A = this chain, B = another copy of it.
Amino acid sequence: MPKGRKVRVIDPKGKQVADFLAFNAVEPREFLSTGATIDNNGSLYIKVGQHLYSNLYRPMLRVTADTVGAHDLLHPPCSPAMYRCQYGITGPHPSCHENFKKALAEYGLDESCIWTPFNIFMNTRVHEDGRLEIKEPLSRAGDYIELEAMFDLIVAVTACSVEESSCNAGRCGPIKIEIY
C-alpha cells in the first residue's frame, strides 16, 4: 500500500470484526503499535483525524473516515492458544493469528511480527474501574473505516474468527477491502 493511498475496511453484512496489522514496507521492524497509538492519543479509542502510530512513534495511518466509531486497540488476535484457554477448544479452529501467519509468510515475516492488531469494529467498552466488556459490534451492513498510509506499507487484514462470544455477535461473516 503506497504512501497516500487509502484502505477502506468494510463490514458488508454488519457486526463483523476485522483485525488489522501494518508494517513499514521498506523496514518491517517498524510496525503498527497499538501501545504507541494509545500513548500518543491519550485514549483507548481513535477518532477521525487521528493517527495510528508505529513502534517508532511515527504517524503510520490516518483515520480519514469512520462510519462506526467503536474499535479496539487492546486485544491480541484470536489464536489457538486463546481458544484453548478461554473456550477449551483443542481441535482445529480458524483464527486471526493463523491467518496473519499464513499471509505474512509471503512477505518474509514470521509470527514474531504479529503484535496486537488494530481490531476494527471490535466494540470493547471500558469502565472507570478498568473492567472491560466486549459487546456486539456497532457496525451495520456497509459500514466502514478508511485509513490513509503515511508511508509505504505492508498491510494485513483478517475477518475475526470468534463465534463463541459477542465479539462478532455470535457468528462470522466476510470483510471487504478496497484500496483508493
Contact = CB atoms under 8 A, between A and B. Distances in A.
Give the number of times this chain occurs in the complex, counting copies.
2
A102 B72 CA distance: 33
A43 interface: yes
A96 to B, nearest CB: 12
Interface in A118-136: 126-133
B75 A38 contact: yes
A131 B131 CA distance: 14
Contacts of A43: 129-132
A16 interface: no
Interface in A40-97: 40, 42-45, 53, 55-58, 74-76, 79, 81-82, 84-86
A112 B114 CA distance: 11
